[in-house]
Structures are given as C-alpha cells and as structure tokens.
Amino acid sequence: MKYFAELKAAGKLWIDSVALTLSMILERVATPHRVAFVEQDDGAFRVQTAAAAPNTIPPIRIADAHIVGELPPVLAPLIKGSRAELVLQPKRFLFRPLELPRRAGEFLDGIVRAQIDRLTPWSVQDAVFGCTPPTDIANDRIALIVAATARAAVAPYMEAFAALGAQSLSVSTPFATPDAEAVPIRIVEQTGGAAGNLPRLRHALLTALLITATLTSIIIATTAIVGSLLQHAQDEVQNRINAQRVAMRAGREVPGVMTTAQRALFTRKRETPSSVIMLEALSRVLPDNTYLTELRLAGDKLQIVGMTRNAPALIPLIEQSTHFAHATFFAPTTQAASDPRERFHIETRVQPVFTPGT
C-alpha cells in the first residue's frame, strides 16, 4: 500500500509540474492587453487603455469589493483576460526610508520583508509592501523608500477586479521625490494565468492520460486478438499442408496405390507422345540423302517438310516404324529444274511409344 501511495503522489507531482510548465508557457505566449485603473482624489478610478481613447470611458467606483453601479458596457470585454494595473493614491500607504549596505541589494526583497515589523505597524502577514529602486549614497551604502499598507485595505479592490475576469492584477502607487518625477512602487502582483489555469490543465492532462491509456489497452487487446486469429489460421494451413504431405508420402510408399492426381499424371504421360523419342525414331527411318527443313508437332499429328531423292519411298519407311501411322502427303511433291532432289510434304500420326526402337 505504501508503494502505491508513493506512486500516486509521484504521479500527482508530475502532472502538477507539467500543468504548471504548460500554463507558464501559455502565459508567456499569450500576452494580455493592459488596462490601468488610476485612483483620483475623489476615490473614483479613471480607466486608461490602448483600446479606447483617453477619458472616453466614465470613471468607476469600488465599494465592499464590488463595482458601484453598472459597469460600462465597453469596459467588461476590456478587463476580461487583461493585465489590470491598479494605481492607488499615495495617501493610502505609509512610506519609510531605509538605508542598507550596497551588497544587500542582491537580497533586497528578503531584507525588506524582514524589516516590515520594525518599519510599519503591521506584521509581514498582514501587510503588503514594495520599495523604490535603490540609489547609491555615501559610505558604500544604498537608500530606498519602502511603501506599505494593510493587506485588508487593498484586498477589496483586488477582489473586485479579479471577479471581472482579469488574467493578472498588480497594485502600485506613485512616490514623488523632491528632485525627480514620481516613481511607481509595485506593491503586490497577483497572476491568475498560471495559478488559474492549473486546475483546467490538470484536468486536461488527466483526461488525455486516461484516453491514451484506454486507446493503448484497446490497441493491445485488438493486436492480441488479431494475432491469435492469424496464428490459428496459420496453424490450420500448416496442418493441411502436413496432411497433404503425409497423404502424398503414403501414396508413394504403398505399392499399387495411386492418388487421383498420380493417376491423371500417369494417364497423360501414357497418352502423350514423347517428342524426344519421336525425333530419335524419325532420324532412324529417314535415308541419309534426306534432310528436313520444317517439323511441326501438334498433339499426335506430325508434319515434316524437306528434300529427298525419292519422296514416295519415304511413306512406307515411315509407316514401318512403330512410332508413326497413316503417313500421307499433305501437299504436292515438287522438283526444281536445276536440282534432282524432290521437295516433299508428309503428314503422319505419332504413336505414344516410349522406346526409341523402330
């Protein structure tokens, strides 16, 4: 049980890590548009956005973590999925100067956090705070201004804008120095992208893993079934081949026992004349002064064309052989004026005799 609990915890940690990584990638790729809400002296918030001309959207007010009155219709789609920046009046914050060694600039956030109890009336858990960029002063030291206020004083504004669908929300306040322009101090930043997308991404990953596992199981089961069917068919074919081999071997080993195929082959061999034996027998019966120019064998019919000194004498010579029967001329015998030999055309039937003797 302990092993399964550890495996489950490791799987959950892996899914959370992958979901967080994907959420951060999506947040970086999809850059939300910026909408700034600047608090005025009367407590209303003026809307600043690149999607609308300045002062075209009426100011809004917030009370008890809700927008007072109806939200302007043009503002709702601008806030949803945006990077909302809430700029509060400096009068809401307590400002304290802080001097530190120059090397403390590498650990500025932790040092300021540790000094909140001393610099402000709030504990670090109950306060939200930020600081200006450090400036160099004498004696190898740096100076900065810390701005802080109670977390409960900022929470209603953050809840109101988060409820409108902002992807991320930051709270800042301007700090005006005597000899320079106002410096914005980032107090708190709340990102809804990575954290808000985690449950949906975790659910999507679990669903994808379940679908993948199901499809893999189906594929494995299908492969096993199809493989079993193919193996069965292959075994059946092999058994048939082995049975045919045994039957053929048994037919050869038993004297006097012939299969249908063997009998058919034997009958065809017995009824079909042998071309080699026919040529051997023909060469034996023809005289030495006779030679052939054409020889055609179709089934049991043989036609020969050639030259000889006495064509009619070839008929009895051919019929004397046991391999030929019914020899006749199938075309007239001719003789050239300058050649004493005769050109003959003889047709005969070939007998299926399998000995070369005459």
pLDDT digits (tens, 9 = 90+) for 21-69: 665 565 555 556 788 888 888 888 888 887 666 667 788 888 776 777 7
Of these ranges, 26-30, 105-109, 206-210, 252-256, the one predicted with the greatest mean pLDDT is 105-109
Supply the pLDDT for residue 284: 87
Separation in Å, CA 117 to CA 38, 110, 269: 29, 13, 117
Supply the pLDDT for residue 146: 93
Supply the pLDDT for residue 197: 56
Q: What H or E segment, with its residue span, contains residue 187? A: strand 183-191
Sign of torsion over alpha carbons 261, 262, 267, 273: positive
List own/partner pairs for 9-17 with CB under 8 A and 24 or more apart. Answer: 15/202, 15/205, 15/206, 15/209, 16/198, 16/202
180, pLDDT greater than 80: no
Q: What region does 326 belong to: left with phi over 0, alpha with psi -120 to 50, or beta?
A: left
| Helix locations, 2-41, DSSP H | 2-29
Name which residue leads in pLDDT, 236 or 196: 236
Supply the pLDDT for residue 285: 87
How far apart, in whole angstroms, are the C-alpha atoms of residue 71 and residue 68? Answer: 8
| Helix locations, 30-148, DSSP H | 76-79, 108-119
Supply the pLDDT for residue 79: 77
Supply the pTM of this predicted model.
Answer: 0.46
Nearest to 73 by CA among 90, 60, 88, 87: 60
CB 45 within 8 A of CB 36: no
CB 311 within 8 A of CB 332: no
How far apart, in whole angstroms, are the C-alpha atoms of residue 171 and residue 154? Answer: 8
Supply the pLDDT for residue 160: 80
Name which residue leads in pLDDT, 148 or 106: 148
Tokens (6 digits) for 81 = 């999925």
Name which residue leads in pLDDT, 88 or 59: 88
Supply the pLDDT for residue 150: 92
How far apart, in whole angstroms, are the C-alpha atoms of residue 92 and residue 88? Answer: 7
154, pLDDT greater than 70: yes
